[in-house]
Structure 1
Amino acid sequence: MAVGGTRPGGRTARVRTAVLNAAGDALVEHGFDRLDLADVARRAEVGKTTVYRRWGTVTGLVADLLADMAEQSLPRTDNGSLIEDLRANARLVQRTLVDQRQGALFRAVIVAATCDSRAAEALHHFYAVRIAEWTPCVEQAIQRAELPPGTDPAEVIRAVSAPLYYRLLLSGDPIDDATAERAAQAAAAAARAGVYTTAGDSR
């Protein structure tokens, strides 16, 4: 998800920013398997002992990188209708994944999560936070009677981004504006049809 905003000042914050930026660069260039704390320290122009003392391991650094991405994520927009809210979500994911740096960074982090439990935990937390941020737009759509009672808001939000991540990680097909629009429309149509209602709750 796209990032933005400002970071707090202070030497500790500046060191963290420099190290996390350097870690992101190294991940994009070399991937998780070749990520090295000493190389990150050199790129960030900080002492190796600082990096080892604060992050300890490559996995710890990747986990903090994900935490930082969550902190910097742009807030959810509120457009007043389900389809417009889902379009905004799809476009945000699409812009992030096609970004030269962010797309490569997500690939590297996801690869790391497949072989490292701490990286996986950090990744799961990152997406749990992002999904929780966007579920209110589905809850509001239920209140407006745009969706049936019992609709699972988290499942609707997951349905928007799933086709985009499929293209990023598996098919390699373009992740363009039309794809984002299709993902939003498909999720909205399925939700309206009651696909994402909890068993026994739809009326």
Structure 2
Amino acid sequence: MRAAVHAATLAELVDKGYAALTVENVARRAGVHKTTVYRRWKDRESLLTDALAEHMATDIPVPDTGAIETDLQALARSIIEAFTSPTGQAILAAMFTGAAHLPEIAAARRHVFDDRLSRAEPVLRRAIKRGQLPEGTDPAEVLKTLAAPIYLRLLITAEPVNETTADQAVRVALAAARAGVLQQGHDEESAGRE
């Protein structure tokens, strides 16, 4: 039932957009009664948040190739692949346009990306353990550095994103991490010196 409701939620988002997304339409599409949906999710925002987090967890897998370069490359390429698909485009539109100013959508966006970061952090922890990145490297900061140029192009500049974009993002993130710029507590130290 959960998978059917998630699939219906994303299908409604792609077909009709966030503004027209209703629990009733999702339930109808999933073939369940709306009270079944409301028993599990209190409103459309919690339903959408759960569906988005689950979609991103399955659509953007966490690689384990044995090398940080290829792990990050696979991760960056899967981000691009996920967000250039019709479902990915609908997700971006829901999270960053139209209703993006609503507190519940901002909270949903934060939850989805926090979930995504926590799922991907083991990639960096393994690399630190293998000696491929310096001790004290902040996994979340490396992932944010990796994703930043991709999201800049997707959301701000509307430049095309492709494997070259992914590979360049990997090189930048790794260079910063290996230079010690993305150490845990680095921001607090820098702020204290200013």
TM-score (norm 2): 0.80
CA contact (8 A) 1:32 1:111 kept: no
SS at match of 2:19: helix
Call closer, same or farther: CA 1:43–1:84 in 2, change over 3 Å. Answer: same
CA contact (8 A) 2:77 2:162 kept: no
What is the count of residue pairs matched by the alignment?
186
CA contact (8 A) 1:147 1:194 kept: no
Does 2:24 align with 1:30?
no
Whole-Å separation in 2 of the counterparts to 1:67 and 1:146? 29
Alignment of 1:134-153 (within 5 A): 134-153=120-139
Whole-Å separation in 1 of the counterparts to 2:57 and 2:138? 25
CA offsets per residue over residues 90-146 of structure 1, 9 Å max, x none? Answer: 111111111222332233234477333333333323322322232233233334443
Q: Which runs of 5+ in 1 are unaligned?
A: 1-12
Residue 82 (structure 1) aligned to one of 34, 47, 68: 68
SS at match of 1:87: helix
CA contact (8 A) 1:28 1:108 kept: no
Q: Which runs of 5+ in 2 are unaligned?
A: 190-194
Whole-Å separation in 1 of the counterparts to 2:53 and 2:14? 17
Residue 119 (structure 1) aligned to one of 75, 100, 105: 105
Which amino acid counterpart does residue 91 of structure 2 have in structure 1?
Answer: L
Question: Percentage identity across aligned positions?
Answer: 39
Whole-Å separation in 2 of the counterparts to 1:112 and 1:151? 36
TM-score (norm 1): 0.77
